[in-house]
Structure 1
Amino acid sequence: MKALLLAGGSGTRLRPITHTSAKQLVPVANKPVLFYGLEAIGAAGIREVGIVVGDTQAEIESAVGDGSAFGLQVTYLRQQAPLGLAHAVLIARDYLGDDDFVMYLGDNFIVGGIDDIVARFARERPDAQIMLTRVGDPRQFGVAELDADGRVVGLEEKPAAPKSDLALVGVYLFTPAIHEAVAGLKPSWRGELEITDAIQWLIEEGRRVSSTVITGYWKDTGNVTDMLEVNRLVLESLEPRVNGRADAASELIGRVAVEAGAVVERSRIVGPAVIGAGTRVVDSYVGPFTSIAAGCLISGSEIEYSIVLPRSSIRGVSRIEASLIGHDVEVTPAPAIPRAHRLVLGDHSKVQIIS
């Protein structure tokens, strides 16, 4: 069995971060989301992985390399435009050959991995196996309709009037039968080749499509709220360690990780929280569920329930929370007089200001 890992999306919901960075490389607990998917694939016993990439190909390749760090053999497959999940299968046809494969969306996060579903697929070998979870607003997802016996009888992508609350999780398993389904697809109203349409074709052709309703945790990390929630979840299992240095005037409470080369001075850190390699935290408070990446400076400030990407600095800011701060950002206080906000914001930014 092979894996097809999708890492070509543009990440519009994470702008402006994704104007300059691949959404799959935004870190959760200081590790890119994409790496969790690679680790899950490797843990399931799969070794050959095709990574579908787009405009951020160079960045993805630089981070993942040949896959050997994950015990994998990686091949990069260029998708010229994000034309849908089924289009990714179409361009990967030669790479996949006649092998069964798992398709894994690179910005999805699943607690517990995919070992069990891969083993079940190998044992029962339906033409397609999908994972489902109950969601509050199914209009934002691909939605499955099941009959009284739990068999999949219909699929629809982002329906205006959903027939169930069962959304497709971003992991699919297929036999080569999917290639016949994909070959005849026409673009949907979104202008994309939908994998839901391909699976629907299998159903209508009498092929066997199985489903598993998962009760564990799953998130599509496509927006800031979900990124922070996944960060919180991963930090819950953080192992405390101090590989850097914390002075006697500092207080580390709970599950706190201080990475090599990091320095904590006259500060209070309440876990779970991680301080990245080479970062300095001085005269500051870092609260629970916060990830500070490598090479940052937090000075005279307070921050909680947030993600800070590499080489950013926060100086003299009284309180930051529920925030995603990008690479090489500088956050400083505004002058007291006149009382005015001074902003330099990129396209599609979102700002909340207390006046």
Structure 2
Amino acid sequence: MTDLKADPSRTDAVILVGGRGTRLRPLTVNTPKPMLPTAGYPFLQHLLARIKAAGITHVVLGTSYKAEVFEEYFGDGSEMGLEIEYVVEKEALGTGGGIRNVYDRLRHETVMVFNGDVLGGTDLRAILDTHVAKDADLTMHLVRVADPRAFGCVPTDVEGRVLEFLEKTEDPPTDQINAGCYVFRRELIEQIPAGRAVSVERETFPALLEQDRRVYGHVDHAYWRDMGRPDDFVRGSSDLVRGIAHSPLLEGRTGEALIDASAGVAAGSILVGGTWVGRGSEIGAGCRLDDSVVFDGVTIEPGAIVRNSIIASGARIGANARITDCVIGEGAQIGARCELQGGMRVWPGVVIPDNGVRFSSDA
């Protein structure tokens, strides 16, 4: 293995952000998942900041669902010191098709591809260095997890060369899973069939192994979380707030809670567990917010308790309500003394009257 180092400035970043985010509905009814507020910023902005910190400046976003939202917010990327281009998928092309779809915008021979659903903490330069040092055609970021059964496993040999790609299995031979970040030699992307749906996991990667291409894994124990479900979204946001997951955007500001400067929090309220409170939100006296994400313009009336939940923009939570493990959609109104729990999802604009939903008797 040589001591060659990668040149991030001569690397393209491609981020796949075309998914519909159905597992996070109703939050994604009006907003693409990568644009949901996460510890005070659109989720995607944390990844873009990590890409910039690694020294990569040219970024191509592969969009589809509500594609216009991304460009409206990030523009050409210059405010972040990046150069961002956008490519829209007219129809669902899968991971491989999505990567092939941006081929014409690539500028460099090294291309780093990111799954826009993943919150990660790995050293991006280290993955690039592995790619260069191994003279790899493809380098995959592999992360070790305690229970790999729910993921695709990727065993490697002592040199780090990938041996096979295994679908979810009850008895995985390794704890290494595909973490959704890849470094491609550009020519491989050109070889992906254009204009149709292609899965890199099921089609592209196995074909590369059959062709005896140099496919390597970069294995680490870095922070990694798929943000696709509400419980993971809440945990990911709170891990960012507490500094467990690192983001350059939150440097020096992490703690038990982060509260936007324009939000109002009344005396006697307790905000813990990595809670985030967004712009213009109002938290009444005697409230407790634990491990929760409160978007912009939310009103939480006195005495309410909110745990492990997401409260979307403009929602109102009534006095002494109890909200646990729930998703409350935009503009919904939850009446006083209501009790919501166990994964309940309230759609945007829904109004639940005072005492309208309870699990305990109305004493």
The bucket for the TM-score relative to the shorter chain is: 0.7 to 0.9
Question: Hey, what does 2:353 align to over in structure 1?
Answer: none
Question: Hey, what does 2:290 align to over in structure 1?
Answer: 288
- Counterparts in 2 of 1:60-79, with a 5 A limit? 60-79=70-89
Find 1:182's aligned residue among 183, 186, 192. Answer: 192
Note the C-alpha offset of 1:288: 3.3
Moved more, 101-110 or 58-67: 58-67
Question: Hey, what does 2:260 align to over in structure 1?
Answer: 259
> Does 2:169 match 1:167?
no
Note the C-alpha offset of 1:132: 1.1
Count of residues in correspondence between the two structures: 328
Residues in 1 aligned to 2:97 and 2:358: alpha-carbon distance in whole angstroms: 42
**Is the 1:269–1:285 contact (alpha carbons within 8 Å) kept by the matching residues of 2?**
yes
Residues in 2 aligned to 1:281 and 1:344: alpha-carbon distance in whole angstroms: 20
Matched AA of 1:84:
G
Find 2:310's aligned residue among 307, 310, 316. Answer: 307
> Does 2:36 match 1:26?
yes
Question: Hey, what does 2:324 align to over in structure 1?
Answer: 321
Residues 101 and 58 of structure 1, relative CA distance in 2, 3 Å threshold = same
Matched AA of 2:60:
G
Residues in 2 aligned to 1:131 and 1:141: alpha-carbon distance in whole angstroms: 14
Moved more, 160-169 or 174-183: 160-169
> Does 2:40 match 1:39?
no
Question: Hey, what does 2:210 align to over in structure 1?
Answer: 204
Question: Hey, what does 1:245 align to over in structure 2?
Answer: none
Residues 335 and 138 of structure 1, relative CA distance in 2, 3 Å threshold = closer
SS of 1:153's partner is: coil
**Is the 2:118–2:226 contact (alpha carbons within 8 Å) kept by the matching residues of 1?**
yes
**Is the 1:228–1:305 contact (alpha carbons within 8 Å) kept by the matching residues of 2?**
yes
Give the % identical residues.
27
**Is the 2:281–2:296 contact (alpha carbons within 8 Å) kept by the matching residues of 1?**
yes
**Is the 1:290–1:306 contact (alpha carbons within 8 Å) kept by the matching residues of 2?**
yes
Q: Over residues 161-207 of structure 1, what are the superposed CA-to-partner deviations in whole Å (9 max), with x where a residue is unaligned?
A: 755442100111111232254239986xxxx4334531222222222
> Does 2:229 match 1:223?
yes
Question: Hey, what does 2:299 align to over in structure 1?
Answer: 297
Note the C-alpha offset of 1:26: 1.9
Q: Given the two structures, how large is their TM-score scaled by the length of structure 1?
A: 0.81
Note the C-alpha offset of 1:222: 0.6
SS of 2:109's partner is: coil
**Is the 1:235–1:289 contact (alpha carbons within 8 Å) kept by the matching residues of 2?**
no
Moved more, 222-231 or 63-72: 63-72
Residues 95 and 186 of structure 1, relative CA distance in 2, 3 Å threshold = closer
Residues in 2 aligned to 1:147 and 1:96: alpha-carbon distance in whole angstroms: 31
Residues in 1 aligned to 2:253 and 2:160: alpha-carbon distance in whole angstroms: 43
Residues 93 and 256 of structure 1, relative CA distance in 2, 3 Å threshold = closer
Residues in 2 aligned to 1:179 and 1:291: alpha-carbon distance in whole angstroms: 38
Question: Hey, what does 1:59 align to over in structure 2?
Answer: 69
Matched AA of 1:324:
V
Note the C-alpha offset of 1:279: 1.5
